[in-house]
Structure 1
């Protein structure tokens, strides 16, 4: 599948929610996300304020996205539509997020489920130094390449 990665724009927000609510693992609906303060308004505002998100586009459709918190040095979202998995989209999105984070941080981090498919992907991409956060969750870190 051919795809491109580009910076997210506020008008991409509905597509980000479409991708986010389509996933099988770590699925959360719009109501669950809103209870966490993740709303279309909050995401649009984040994207408008600072470069913090990228989308993968295939066939003129957003099929994945990633988001970072530059101040905290964290990758906090990386999602790909289920029917588009296994095409290198997640790897490309994560690489773009890492590049941005390493501009300001020597070490970056993320949190995920210990036994999740996502954790396996992150480990495969060089994330490690696992810290148990309890409740089946872990923190992984990655150092800036020398």
Structure 2
């Protein structure tokens, strides 16, 4: 299992993972284009991938311009192996080295993603878009969570 920064040659495999998920699915896969992915990993922020046997099985993308988490997905065949957590932590460690501004994300209610983010210390602050829950993480909460995790 290898974690590394995402690059433009990863986009096709990132799209495969994004469209394989069973929760937080896209109503229209054409809504997230390859050009969108490229913009988010090269201009707006940065992305990371997890590879197993040269196949991308998970990815995360932070949007520094919008101060949000644009994506964090793991292929369903690789659930519950700690991949999402590692991608999450890489992304937030990088994000908070760039800025002290709080970061937000949206996710569908009553999903494993909602449980995942709550467990990692994200705070629900309302709704976003079409009924998604909106969560935020501050630099202080992230530092406290990271310190707690390191002492366990």
Tell me the equivalent position of 1:22.
20
Aligned length: 140
Secondary structure of 1:72's counterpart equals coil
Q: Name the CA distance, whole Å, in 2 between partners of 1:91 and 1:68.
A: 14
Query: Do the aligned partners of 2:40 and 2:61 also contact (CA within 8 Å) in 1?
Result: no
Runs of 4+ in 1 over 2 A off after TM superposition: 44-51, 132-136
As a proportion of its length, which structure holds more helix?
2
Which one of the candidate residues 7, 10, 13 is aligned to 1:9? 7
- Give the unaligned 5+ runs of structure 1: none
RMSD: 1.9
Query: Do the aligned partners of 1:10 and 1:45 also contact (CA within 8 Å) in 2?
Result: no
- The correspondence of residues 38-57 of structure 1 with structure 2, limited to 5 A, is 38-49=32-43, 51-57=45-51
Relative to the length of structure 2, the TM-score reads 0.83
- The correspondence of residues 52-131 of structure 1 with structure 2, limited to 5 A, is 52-103=46-97, 104-131=99-126
Q: Name the CA distance, whole Å, in 2 between partners of 1:50 and 1:77.
A: 13
Q: CA 1:106–1:58 in 2, change beyond 3 Å: closer, same or farther?
A: same
Query: Do the aligned partners of 2:45 and 2:65 also contact (CA within 8 Å) in 1?
Result: no
